[in-house]
Amino acid sequence: MTAGTAFARAKAEGRAALVGYLPAGFPDVVGGIEALRTMVDAGCDVIEIGLPYSDPVMDGPTVQAAAQQALDRGVRIKDVLRTVEAVAGTGTPTLVMTYWNPIERYGVERFAADLASAGGAGLITPDITPDADPAWAQAADAHDLDKVYLVAPSSTDERIAMTTAACRGFVYATAVMGVTGARTTTSELAEPLVARTKSVTDLPVGVGLGVSNGAQAAEIAAYADGVIVGSAFVRTLLDHPDDTGAGLRALGALTEDLAAGVRRG
């Protein structure tokens, strides 16, 4: 299933989609797969799997800590693809979110082929723009993979139009200027950014905003097609380093709260 299909299904139900993120290999490969399946079972419509990278300049301290833990355990791209295959096997659209450097090193065409073979729906590329490297667009098109680029409050109208025209699946609106991380309040920049984006594309627009609870998810779901949550999921597992069962229970409860939020919105 593609990400677009999941967004369309949520829209048909009169709600926003819930998109959940965890880095692969956190807390370890098997534990990460179990955690992501827990999120699917508890209400995530789309899954983003992070590819751990040694120089995560756009990630906040929570995601950095989890990615470093994965790297310290020796996680590699083959483990990311193994995780994709396991989660995609649930029937949930599963995308990889990654900085560009590891994909270049692995080989763009090779990565596209291996991601498609694993059942992946596509790739979210936070640090490249559609005009920066045509190689990914060509490889993604050849393997029917979603191409998800980011727009931000600082993006000009022309940049938003160019970016959304190159997207397939959905558009990722990052409505906080700065690194990722859960926040106690939502941003005033998010709703205007979504409106500007939707004025130039019919694609669904998902908002990544540091959401950490169902009430915040409901607020964003009132105007966005999807609510993207990452750091709150990561923090939940970081808070239970020595009790896997408790961590998974807490993860499931958080997902249920967020899933209820996107339905209220």
Residues known to be catalytic: 48, 59
Q: Are 90 and 40 contacting, i.e. CB atoms less than 8 angstroms apart? A: yes
| Distances, alpha carbon 44 to alpha carbons 36, 174, 187, 242, 243, in Å | 9, 19, 23, 25, 23
Q: Are 217 and 229 contacting, i.e. CB atoms less than 8 angstroms apart? A: yes
Place of tokens 């900085």: 99
* Cα–Cα nearest to 135, from 162, 100, 160, 161: 100
User: What residue ranges in 166-241 does DSSP mark as E strands?
Assistant: 171-174, 205-208, 226-229
Q: Are 126 and 99 contacting, i.e. CB atoms less than 8 angstroms apart? A: yes
Q: Residue 204 region, left (φ>0) first, then alpha (ψ -120 to 50), else beta?
A: beta
What are 158's two structure tokens? 């022309």
* Cα–Cα nearest to 261, from 19, 2, 3: 19
What are 40's two structure tokens? 């699917």
DSSP per position, 34-73: HHHHHHHHHT-SEEEEE---S--TT--HHHHHHHHHHHHT
Q: HSE-up of 48 (CA within 13 Å, CB side)? A: 30
